[in-house]
Amino acid sequence: MRKALITGCTGQDGSYLTEFLLDRGYEVHGLKRRSSSLNTDRLDHIYQDIHESGARFFLHYADLTDGSSLATLLYDLRPDEIYNLGAQSHVKVSFEIPEFTADVVAIGTLRLLEATRRTGVKCRFYQASSSEMFGSAPPPQSETTPFHPRSPYACAKVFGHNITVNYRESYGLHASSGILFNHESPRRGETFVTRKITRAVAHIKHGLQQKLYLGNLDARRDWGYAPDYVRAMWLMLQQDTPDDFAIGTGEAHTVREFVELAFTHADLDWRDYVEVDARYFRPAEVDYLCADASKARRVLGWEPTVTFQELVRIMVGEDMKNVEARLKGGTEALQLAVTAEGRHS
């Protein structure tokens, strides 16, 4: 049985990747960091009681800011594949906590690579690089586009990317970087723009919210569907030769277009509800990201399966259902959470 270790297991991508690997028969070990309240909501539905025979999903306390915890985990588990998804991943927040962001995103990656090298574990390594690294470089962006990062987060990701390439070249590590463009889902963090919009649509439709305050409506992003993107991560580690791949749909839309479509799904006119609040502007913006993912199509055979229109529909639909379930005071979600508490110590 192949064994995978995922940092950032409790995040959007980590939860989809866990499902994807369990479906393929892997034993999956997730790194979770200590928090004062439960932080495993996205994994509750796949929780397996470790006391039951046949359990293939395990969570371990560790932290990308704690090198010894990473080395211990690697030494004990000896995984075949490592997926480094852990990050302070919010671009705007990275301007407010730049040192922490760099510590987790840049040095955290180095700590994990170094732990891999020092423990001598023979494994394949995936680095979650980001289209934010391209920053102000004009679209379309591909693996060969020069980086021009525009935030502490993006600068830290450039370091994480370069150090991954360096460990590949210096030590022969099978290390690949996925330069992923924005990818979203109903599990997207609530403060990223897409989820902020789709939640607001559901709240407004049910009379729970009056206004939606947003920042720059003119920014263009290449938005895809997260489950498609975790498949690309896995495909990269199945190649004989490690390499870097840009992953995106090749289609960009403005934030305004996302807003308009999301409100239309709920039969609402966005102009009645959306206001611009400069608080959400960034000190430096990334105006236009759009992927040239032709290398991934050619080498990995990767294609996105969900269009922009479908993505918006899926996200609005799920947030509508969430609100309706909460309004009905259903017990199903509560039951899941209670069952999952067994994993916390």
Residues that bind ligand NAP (CB under 6 A): 7-14, 31, 33, 35, 39, 63-65, 85-89, 104, 128, 130, 180, 182-183, 189
CB of 320 to ligand F7E, least distance (A): 20
Nearer to ligand F7E (CB atom), residue 58 or residue 159: 159
CB within 8 Å of 76: residues ≥ 6 apart: none
Q: Is 91 in the site for ligand F7E (CB under 6 A)?
A: yes
Q: Give the residue with the Cβ less far from ligand NAP, 14 or 186.
A: 14
With a CB cutoff of 8 Å and minimum separation 6, the contacts of 232 are: 178, 180, 245, 247, 296, 300, 302
Is residue 153 among the annotated active site residues?
A: yes
Alpha-carbon span 122 to 297, nearest angstrom: 28
Which one of ligand F7E, ligand NAP, none interacts with residue 18, CB within 5 to 8 A by kind?
Answer: none
Nearest distance from C-beta of residue 64 to ligand NAP, angstroms: 4
Identity (one letter) of the amino acid at 188?
Answer: R
Q: Which stretch binds ligand F7E (CB under 6 A): 128-136, 141-149, 199-207, 263-271?
A: 128-136
For residue 209, give Cα distances in angstroms to 57, 191, 255, 259, 278: 38, 16, 20, 16, 20
Task: Indicate which residue of 81, 132, 184, 260 is catalytic.
Answer: 132
User: Which residue number, 191 or 309, has a Cβ lying nearer to ligand F7E?
Assistant: 191
Q: Is 94 an active-site residue?
A: no
CA gyration radius for the chain?
20
- Identify which of 305, 218, 290 has the alpha carbon closest to the alpha carbon of residue 252: 290
Annotated active-site residue in 83, 153, 167, 225: 153
Alpha helices in the chain (DSSP H): 12-23, 67-77, 91-96, 98-102, 108-119, 152-171, 193-205, 226-237, 255-265, 294-295, 308-328, 332-340
Residue pair 135/287 in contact (Cβ under 8 Å)? The answer is no
Residue from 196, 203, 256, 297 binding ligand F7E (CB under 6 A): 196
Residue 193 interacts with ligand F7E (CB under 6 A)?
Answer: yes
Q: Which residue's beta carbon is nearest to the bound ligand NAP?
A: 11
Could you tell me if 222 and 293 are in contact, meaning their C-beta atoms sit under 8 angstroms apart?
A: no
Which one of 182, 185, 198, 249 is in contact with ligand F7E (CB under 6 A)?
182
Q: Is 130 a catalytic residue?
A: yes
> Which residues are known to be catalytic?
130, 132, 153
